[in-house]
Chain A
Amino acid sequence: MNWLIAILQGALFIALAPLLAGWLKYCKCRLQNRKAPSLLQPYRDLIKLSNKKPVVSDHASWLFITAPYLIFSATALAATVVPLVVVDLPTSASADVIVMVGFFAFARFFLALAGLDIGTAFGGMGSSREMTISSLAEPAMLMAIFTLTMTASTTNLSGAIAHVLNEGLVLRPSFVFALFALILVAVAETGRIPVDNPATHLELTMIHEAMILEYSGRYLALIEWASQLKLMLYGVLIANIFFPWGISETLNPKDLGYGLVAILGKLALLAIFLAIAETLVAKMRLFRVQEYLSFAYLLGLLGMLSHIILEASR
């Protein structure tokens, strides 16, 4: 039963990801006084892309064609270990939060390789920048996550969230720092403004788009879906770790329903915040990103230290 719920929840996660992207776009359009596309537009795009004949460069190797499947599967696996609606997930025992970060690294590794495969300047540029940003973001993210795992003394995400739930509403300085660190990292890792702009195809600024420039058809669909999934994943992480209230602790349908409504509400709210931030803030120069990320790292470190100094029971 548990496993069935876990699989269903993973499928729900994957199915909802484009909706979140649509909602984000809707909020942004409204904030910028534009007419918004339908919330279902991302689904239509994915269907359209997957029904198209993909065009692949002559120079592409098998890696270019395999990479989208690997990227999508790794991101989907990461999604199955994060509690979305219900806390107690058997899948989060088989892969803890460090493994989840490992899945991200796995997807990124192949994405960067795919960028280098054709041998165009854009691909190399995107890969180089992506690896730079992610290698600075990963320690910041782990710092924030370690604060959580040390508080809960488990790296199992289900266990950690259950711990936060049982503690009730306690204001922990370490969690405030960790929350801000994780938000900054999430913005960088999902390629949003001010680090990267998902809507641009301008040579000098693009990162994620530069790597996937050569993809088309179903391959593009997979990669787009994976990045929507990643956005939602970070949203769920932030929502369920720091504000876990509402998530279901049992398997009865009523609680599950409440859990679903709660997470949808939280995500919708987070997306509104993100849309406001994206509208207000301008994109940074590439070499300012290090300062941004080292600030995130510093916040993570402060969170860790305040956990050790202020909170650990000694």
Chain B
Amino acid sequence: MILFSAYLAVLLSFASGLLALIIKQRQLLQSLSNYSFNNLFKNQFQQQAWVDKNLEIKHFPAFLRQAVFILLGLSGLFAVIAGLGVLLSNQVITDQIPLGLPWLPWHIRFDCLSGFFFLIIGIGVFAVSLYGPGYVRSYKEEQHPFASLGLFTGLFVAGMLLVLLADDAFMFMIAWELMSVASYFLVAFQHEHAANRRAAFLYLLMAEVGALAIILAFGVLASFADGFTFDALRESKLSVTWSSIAFILALLGFGMKAGIAPIHVWLPEAHPVAPSHISALMSGVMLKVAIYGLIRFCFDLLSEVQWQWGVVLIILGTISALAGILYAMMQPNLKRLLAYSSVENIGIIFMVLGLTMIFMATGHPQLAALGLLAALFHAFNHALFKNLLFLGAGILQHQTHELNIDMMGGLIKKMPQTSLLFLVGCMSISSLPLFNGFVSEWLAFQTALQVDVLDNGVLRSLIPVAAAALALTAALAAACFVKVFGLIFLGQPRSHHSEKAHEVQNKFMLAGPALLAGLCFFVGIFPSTIIHLINNASGQLLGQTLPNNNALSWLWLAPVSAQQASYSPPLVLIAALIAAGICYGYFRRNPLTTVRRAETWDCGFGGLTPRMQYTSSAFTMPFRRIFEKVWIIDEQIHKDMKGAMNQDVSAVHYQLQVHDHSWPHIYAPIAQGVNDLARQVGRIQTGNIRTYLGYSFTTLVLLLWLIS
């Protein structure tokens, strides 16, 4: 039954993709329906009017869009059901499907870890399917055909779900490629701009390089095992060197997809150009599939983890987290900013996974379970709030035709509902108490503070430093999202578009984000609902659950022991409500003190204009000075002079560009190297047929010599 809903989720997403294809076949469908109603059923059905109405040229595209997204939403719903089913019943389901080559059936395995990621995907897809119909309506059919968008969205979702179900390396790679390639077409959807094509190509390139690394990692494992099924790979006995090589390859492959620094560069290029609901899926959900791959590979397939790998993950994670949020802070483009912030969150997840590995390798499986709990919980939370923020960004783009936060402002009055939802997202991502982001950060800190059990002195001093970096990351994230919310929604409108903006008409476009925002709050107050689920997953994966299972009640969160650390979000919420209620009541007791509205004080000079407000680059100026070396800053100030002696300034032109260090220092040398190599190879290609015949002859002789 559980497996059936999982299959159903996959099939429904395929179906939604295929359904999108028939958007061009309206006339065919019309004649088909006419024929069938007139000849086959002899007009005995009432539904004919309904069918005819929807097949009219006016209604058909809207109807089809809705149908496609309904199928997608059902797919998400069944994914949630399947995920919850397997997590609650705590079982492992295996199956085989006779697909692919005749002697190589697809092996399916649906366990708690897959189930948990099914849950993440299901929620994300469901929210997107609520949001989608309203959002895609603004695309012109001639320029941006819905058929391709719908088809590849369906394939993309199906690919992600299949990755989670895969139990052999073949199926895993096929599903992985389906996911990568389908999402390439989605990134390239608005391909009329050269920048978008370039971003999409970069994405495809990095996805394929990553896929190659993953294939090689499986290859290393498989060379010590008989066969490519995960069961066989689990049995393989590797030396530490070979398993480390496999780990590095897997880290490269999955890390490239997940977007850890410095192999994150596709993220900030690809996310802004994809349609918003697709960037929500890519950032909120697809990155998690990469995390799933890494967890599956390291903790499940590789028989023993080494603590050195954990150190690698912690260092990479810390760099990603800090670099990600610092770069995010400098971006004026909202979606680019969110993409960099994904790099930050993935960094946090990697850091905590590194802790998990260290605890696992040094023989503290219970603490490893705590680390895995923090990592998976943060993955879940990130899926919720990043999805929410991307969908919010989509609404903003839809309503103001802008993504530049310097051009927005004052939208809290124009778009009250959107602003509230966005505020919840910002608070969650800044890890403020009462919201979900805080709980996973709290758990991460608790994991890091258990470091006293380790024997290795270097590790014991490294991990607290990583924890402090995590604290810095969280504080910078709060600063970044204060900037985001403050500049977009508060203050006064900075452009004509945001002055004229109004709330979205389509309520479903708000329903998707509202669902996610509700979950952010609910999980923040009752985190044990999710923790119970993850506990099952870590029980299956690590063979060990949390140190203190008894303390996991709905009220208390005390993962290690009640003496060591405890947090009770419901009590905090109640106390907060009481405190706020008392001071609200107390301070409003006097009826004479009703609020008087007046003009803003302008120091008596008159004429405050929106241009006097702080902008994104102004807000982040202190950070730019303090962390100067992190970016490549290109700041130009040009003054126009006038007057008799040319000494009065009539205008100042200010230009600021902030670039990523990884381009000139990592990617440009690689590109240069590839070009040079190609030139060298080009030398042997003389274009002369005799030379080529000579090459063939030599090769033939060499091969013959080898055989004999």
Chain A interface residues (CB < 8 Å from chain B): 50-59, 61-63, 65, 69-70, 72-74, 76-77, 80, 91, 93-96, 98-99, 102-103, 105-106, 108-109, 112-113, 115-121, 123-125, 127-129, 131-132, 134-136, 138-139, 142-143, 146, 149-150, 153-156, 159, 213-214, 217-218, 221-222, 286-287, 290, 297, 300-301, 304-305, 308-309, 312, 314
Contact = CB atoms under 8 A, between A and B. Distances in A.
A117 B490 contact: yes
A58 B467 contact: no
A143 B468 contact: yes
Nearest to B427: A109
B614 A128 contact: yes
B566 A150 contact: no
Given A96-B566, A106-B434, A118-B491, 9 more contacts: A105-B431, A108-B478, A119-B409, A120-B600, A125-B614, A128-B621, A132-B623, A135-B479, A146-B467
A120 B587 contact: no
Contact of B464 (A65, A113, A304): A304
Contacts of A70: 580
A121 B614 CA distance: 6
B475 A135 contact: yes
Contacts of B602: 120
B565 A135 contact: no
B608 to A, nearest CB: 6
Given A51-B590, A109-B478, A308-B461, A119 B580 contact: no
Interface string B554-567: 00000000111111
**Which range holds the interface residue count of chain B?**
35 or more
B470 to A, nearest CB: 8
Given A121-B612, A314-B455, A112 B482 contact: yes
Contacts, number: 264
Contact of B478 (A115, A131, A304): A131
Interface of B: 409-410, 412-413, 427, 430-434, 438, 442, 445-446, 449, 451-452, 455, 457, 460-461, 464-465, 467-469, 471-472, 474-476, 478-479, 482-483, 485-487, 489-492, 562-568, 571-572, 575-576, 579-580, 583-584, 587-588, 590, 592-602, 608, 610, 612-614, 618-623, 625-626
A10 to B, nearest CB: 9
Q: Is the interface of A mostly helix, strand, loop or mixed?
A: helix
Nearest to A78: B433
A150 B572 contact: no
A308 B576 CA distance: 37
B475 A53 contact: no
A312 B454 CA distance: 11
Contacts of A221: 587
B473 to A, nearest CB: 9
Contact of B593 (A98, A131, A218): A218
Given A129-B622, A146-B449, A54 B475 contact: no
Question: Which residue, of B468, B580, B601, has the highest number of chain A Cβ atoms within 10 A?
Answer: B468
Given A55-B598, A59-B492, A94-B571, A156 B565 contact: yes
A265 B240 CA distance: 61
A231 to B, nearest CB: 18
Contacts of B434: 106
Complex A-B, nearest 9 residue pairs according to Cβ-Cβ distance, in ascending order: A124-B614, A116-B486, A119-B491, A135-B475, A131-B479, A94-B568, A73-B579, A132-B622, A102-B433
29 contacts: A50-B593, A56-B596, A59-B600, A61-B490, A74-B576, A77-B579, A94-B571, A94-B572, A105-B433, A112-B482, A113-B486, A116-B487, A117-B491, A118-B491, A118-B600, A124-B618, A131-B483, A136-B475, A138-B471, A146-B467, A150-B449, A153-B564, A156-B565, A217-B593, A221-B587, A222-B587, A287-B626, A301-B468, A305-B461
B455 A54 contact: no
Contacts of B590: 50-51
A128 B595 contact: no
A265 B334 CA distance: 51
Contacts of A146: 449, 464, 467-468
Contact of A95 (B567, B583, B601, B612): B567
Given A70-B580, A153-B564, A154-B563, A58 B600 contact: yes
A123 B430 CA distance: 21
Contact of A139 (B455, B469, B587): B469
A67 to B, nearest CB: 11
A10 B625 CA distance: 40
B485 A113 contact: yes
A138 B615 CA distance: 25
Contacts of A112: 479, 482, 486
Nearest to A128: B619
A99 B567 contact: yes
Given A125-B614, A128-B619, A53 B592 contact: yes
Given A56-B597, A142-B467, A304-B461, A119 B567 contact: no
B366 to A, nearest CB: 15
A52 B597 CA distance: 14
A153 B452 contact: yes
B465 A155 contact: no
A228 to B, nearest CB: 14
Contacts of A213: 601
A116 B614 contact: yes
Nearest to B493: A119
Given A53-B592, A63-B412, A132 B564 contact: no
Question: Which residue, of B474, B485, B576, B583, has the highest number of chain A Cβ atoms within 10 A?
Answer: B583
